[in-house]
A and B are shown apart, each in its own frame.
Chain A
Amino acid sequence: MDSDELRRIPEHPSGGRGLSTAPRRHILMTPHMAAIGGLLAFFMVVLTVVVLPTATYNPPPSDNWLPLTDQAMKGRAVYLANGCFYCHSGFTRPQDVLTGQYYLYPRIAEPGDYSGSDQAPNIMGSERTGPDLSQEGGMHPVQWHEAHYYNPRNVNPFSIMPQFSFFSEDELGNMIEFNQESGGKEAILRLAAVAVGDDLMKINQGEDPMEDGINPAVSHLVSQLTASNEFKTDGKGTDKSPSGLPWKAVWMVNSFERGYWLTSDPLPITTQNLTRGKQIYLERCSGCHGPRGDGFGSAEPFFDPVPFNFTDSSNTDGMNGAFASDGMLYHRILTGGPGTAMENFGTRLSVQDIWRVVQFLRTIQNGSLSEQGSVVTPDMFLAWQEPPPMKAYVSSHPVDQGPGNIDSGDPFMAAAHWVAPGLGPTDTAMVGGKLPMTLSRLADLIKTAYMNQVQKAWDDAVARGESGLPSKDQIFSTDELVFHEPS
């Protein structure tokens, strides 16, 4: 090889081809041009895309916006320290909200939803491995979160989220509070409905309504009703209602929509359907209801009320699978259990698959889960036997006298209807045999719980000296409030 060719300085274009046909003798760029000119170009763009929008774009708080409580802000710090926003986005996009279908997310994020320094730094996120959490508030009860943080596989065997079992009690509580307040007023309304529903379930199980974990709104109502002698202190869940069905079971029945009370499984009982049902059960349900179907899944210790037991055939108080009709089980899987950790699977399973799971549940008493890897066959199927008192109750509460179309203009009534979808406008159910509950009382109860939480958030924000707070009227206004069922 020619040694000149080898030793030519490549940095110096010595010509021959290309745009620069002759070696450049002059200097193309000076250090000043590169450094100062480069910085000038940079700052010109900074002016356009950083300074200008920051200075001009300050949307006022939306109607749905609420400040966070101090506890939730501490939870937000835990959220940031542990990098939750890497897998969970902090805003919902237009394409996330599908009209006319089961929704995953209730609303599209609006500029006004991101207001107030209690939401800084941003947690918009760049990737979704898990769901968006900007509207997580009230989607699950607190006990679900506790089981989930301890090990997400407890409640969701498909989850690939890490365990947060190392959280201290404070961290866990703060974190859950932040989750429950994410999503503004709509979240607080869901949270109020979930909390009230949870407490009523507990009272129905015989727990003392004045104890610590019960929402103050519920305790307050109980003390009011005790004063007016409406609260039956000596009542029990096993006391019979006028139709003969125990009150405990009445409240359970009213947590299902009337239309589903006596619906039976439309699918033929085949090995295929049962096998598919079993597969889904093991994939999705075993965390709580247990690999044997006895309600002792790994999440069970976290739950009150406990998950349905599908191996028990004798119980008539409403707390097992044999008590519920096919339609009730379908409804429960489709929409979730108001006030329990039972999730809404309507977005995750097809209609057919839900019915297949229901069909499979009817084989558990015959040992379809007793042995690992066993084959489920149609002869294991046990058709649902309607308990006689239930027949009486159901026939005295026909669908056409049910709740019908609840006025959707009142979000609290809509929330009450979600907690007790079987309750008609004129019905009174004694929760746990003690607490007389009507739909309007339930709506008031949820409203009280909601308002308490809003008041707390407002007080905390004012005490913190939060800047840019909207008027107190806007914070407490419920004009634009909509109830979205937990999805």
Chain B
Amino acid sequence: MTSTALGADTRVVAPRTLAGLGEDVKEHADYAAKVWLYTAIFWLTFVDVVGLTMATELITPDFLGGIPWLLFSRIRPIHVNGVIFMWLSSMYFGAIFYILPRLTGLRSMWNEQLAWWMAWAWNVMCVAGVVTLALGFSQGREYAEFIWPIDVLLVAIWLVNVYNIVMTVLNRRVRPLYVTVWWFLASPMWLAADYIIGNVMWSPGNWLGNGQSVALVGNGVSGALANPLADAMLNWWSNHNLFGLWLTPMLVAITYYLVPRITGTPLYSQTLSLISFWGIAFFYTGVGHHHLLQAPIPGWLKTFATVNSILLLIPVFAFVSNIMLTMRGNWSKFITNLPLRFVLTGFIFYFLVNIQGSFMAIPAFNRMIHFTNFIVAHAHLALLGAFTILGMGLIDYVIPQIFHKPLYSRRLAEWQFWLVTIGFLIFFWSLTFASFLQGENWLIGIPEINVLPELRPHFIARAIGGSMILVSGFVQMYNIWRTVRSDTSHHIGEEMQPLLAAAQAPKGSSSQAAQQRAGGH
């Protein structure tokens, strides 16, 4: 039995033991991973709804006008923090709690209960974050809007997860650490450090957020440095590390796991993965100031950020070539295996966003695209094109693995893939073209207001693309729900009859096994 196009990798039920590599574990708990992933699916749809609302408000500004908590500028931080912390971080923790036991030869995480409780605590944090931001309780710093109490909750949960991960690794049964585990160890630690520093968490100040004028004394500023320029530098440095030290490394880690796993091919090179690990650790940490190339900050810092942004190509190329070489001879699976297609689509967008990002940091180019929608398009290329599509593929892969049965509907999953991919491409290109209009016009002295009517068609196209992405999220939600709740084993028979016949294993077919398990529901 092979890994089928439906994503059901039946190797876990094959009782063959490869000593010391953890394959002898037949049943994993996956207790916490399920909760993290289910809620991630919910938050994805939620942040998509918020994003589409914002896109609509940019087309018809009086839509929902005058309702303070639905204001574009009030829900924008919900969208941004929602994508990073509610959707992607939940999905990534789900991925860690699913993958890590498998790579360490354990049945579950070191403390699976703890990871489960943290999933619910995380969701409480998310709801609190949404409510406070909508009500205007904000630190007023981009990407660092959560007020101090929510920061504390976030970091506390985060550190508990880090502890759980470290303890799992220290108690592992497989001695060598696969490259994915390096990232699982380092990346959450980096983010915790980055979040604490970037949010100036040792200075709660006016802890209800700077949007509340309760404390107006100089030192009352909450979660920010008192010197506004130093604060801007810190703000953008830490913001970029949300991507550089958490979202990107986790994409790399998951791709390093899923591509060899789904294709059944060993990773091409461990040496290249070393380069990608240490390259990102050293070069990605110092690029954030490229957001401030035109701002009055020290020149050497701008140079440092630009140079590091270009050096970043080294780990990116190391990672990309490693995956491409692993994929040699496997590209037919890109068509037939849906989770792999998601993962590699995300991977391709990841490659593009890094090339784009490096060149955006070149001052001459930055001059034109700075402050325009190019940045918005770039951010969505990363967070939507790369991380979200990868996350969708991960969920479509992991849920069938956990339940040992194929997805409810491959056709729905195809719809999900094409809706999100085409929707994203419409979104990306409309905003990119819009940004050229903005940049070119501004450079010759045409004011922002004159460019707005020209942006309108692009904003409409963006909203159309955005609706497709939202529908894609709903499709996944429905598909996963049906996969979990219903007996899907017969779907193998419908679509995969020829393959099954060829690969039928002598000791009991997977569909029987799946039927037995599904009977329990």
Contact = CB atoms under 8 A, between A and B. Distances in A.
Given A122-B224, A128-B371, 18 more contacts: A7-B11, A8-B266, A12-B178, A26-B176, A28-B177, A29-B177, A37-B281, A49-B286, A54-B234, A77-B210, A80-B138, A87-B72, A111-B229, A116-B228, A121-B221, A124-B235, A126-B375, A128-B438
Interface stretch (B60-68, B113-121, B483-491): B60-68
A35 B274 contact: no
Interface string B226-259: 1111111111110000000100000000000100
Chain A contact-residue range equals: 35 or more
A160 B21 CA distance: 58
A391 interface: no
A94 interface: yes
A49 B301 contact: yes
A50 B304 CA distance: 12
Interface stretch (A39-47, A213-221, A331-339, A396-404): A39-47
B271 interface: yes
Interface residues of B, number: 131
Contact of A130 (B212, B233, B245, B449): B449
B82 interface: no
Contacts of B235: 121-122, 124
A10 B221 contact: no
**Among the interface residues B176, B229, B438, B447, which one has the most CB atoms of the partner chain A within 10 A?**
B229
Contact of A156 (B177, B187, B271, B449): B449
B261 interface: yes
Interface in A118-139: 118-131
Given A34-B185, A49-B301, A465 B217 contact: yes
Contacts of A11: 21, 103, 178, 180, 257, 260-261, 266-267
Contact of B228 (A3, A7, A114): A114
A28 B375 contact: no
B130 to A, nearest CB: 14
B345 interface: no
A81 B138 contact: yes
A42 B285 contact: yes
Contacts of A38: 182, 185-187, 189-190, 277, 281
B271 A19 contact: yes
B66 A163 contact: yes
A82 B285 contact: no
A78 B68 CA distance: 12
A160 B452 contact: yes
B72 A162 contact: yes
A436 B398 CA distance: 83
Given A81-B136, A102-B445, A162 B73 contact: yes
Closest 7 A/B residue pairs (Cβ): A81-B211, A80-B140, A10-B260, A83-B73, A38-B186, A121-B224, A93-B294
A124 B232 contact: yes
22 contacts: A5-B264, A8-B264, A11-B267, A17-B325, A34-B183, A38-B186, A38-B187, A39-B189, A54-B225, A77-B210, A81-B210, A82-B68, A91-B296, A111-B297, A116-B218, A116-B228, A122-B231, A158-B449, A158-B453, A159-B61, A162-B61, A166-B66
Contact of B304 (A10, A48, A85): A48
B448 interface: yes
A28 B230 contact: no
Given A31-B169, A38-B185, A13 B270 contact: yes
A100 B124 CA distance: 56
A98 interface: yes
B173 to A, nearest CB: 13
B272 A19 contact: yes
B296 A127 contact: no
A395 to B, nearest CB: 39
B367 interface: yes
A385 interface: no
A428 to B, nearest CB: 38
Contacts of A129: 58, 448, 452
Interface string B289-316: 1011011111001001100000000000
Contact of B61 (A20, A46, A74, A152): A152
Nearest to B135: A81
Nearest to A465: B218
A464 B221 CA distance: 13
Given A87-B73, A348-B450, A48 B445 contact: no
A70 B216 CA distance: 8
Nearest to B178: A11
A59 interface: yes
A103 B138 CA distance: 34
A123 to B, nearest CB: 7
A39 B142 contact: no
A313 interface: no
A477 interface: no
B99 to A, nearest CB: 10
A226 interface: no
A389 to B, nearest CB: 39
B57 interface: yes
A372 to B, nearest CB: 20
Interface in A93-114: 93-96, 98, 101-102, 104, 109-111, 113-114
B271 A20 contact: yes
Interface in A275-292: none
Interface of A: 1, 3, 5-20, 24, 26-31, 34-35, 37-39, 41-46, 48-50, 53-54, 56-59, 70, 73-74, 77-87, 89, 91, 93-96, 98, 101-102, 104, 109-111, 113-131, 151-153, 156, 158-166, 174, 347-348, 464-467
Contacts of B212: 77, 81
Contacts of A115: 227-228
Contacts of B175: 27
A79 B211 CA distance: 7
Contacts of A73: 213, 216
B209 interface: yes
B307 to A, nearest CB: 12
Nearest to B325: A18
A95 B294 contact: yes
Given A93-B370, A120-B228, A81 B137 contact: yes
Contacts of B264: 5-6, 8, 10
Given A19-B271, A77-B213, A160-B452, A7 B16 contact: yes
Nearest to A96: B442
A84 B61 contact: no
B6 to A, nearest CB: 16
B219 interface: yes
B14 interface: yes
A128 B448 contact: yes
Given A42-B281, A49-B237, A165-B66, A120 B371 contact: no
A6 B305 CA distance: 45
A49 B189 contact: no
Nearest to A347: B447
A197 B426 CA distance: 50
Contact of A98 (B228, B269, B445): B445
Contact of B139 (A70, A121, A348): A121
A8 B272 CA distance: 21
Contacts of A96: 442
B245 A49 contact: no
B278 A41 contact: yes
Contacts of A86: 72-73, 76, 142
Given A81-B137, A104-B447, A1 B2 contact: yes
A379 B372 CA distance: 45
Contact of B213 (A7, A9, A74, A98): A74
Contacts of B179: 28
Given A83-B73, A93-B294, A10 B266 contact: yes
Contacts of B161: none
Contacts of A117: 218-219, 221, 226-228
B190 A49 contact: no
B234 A50 contact: yes
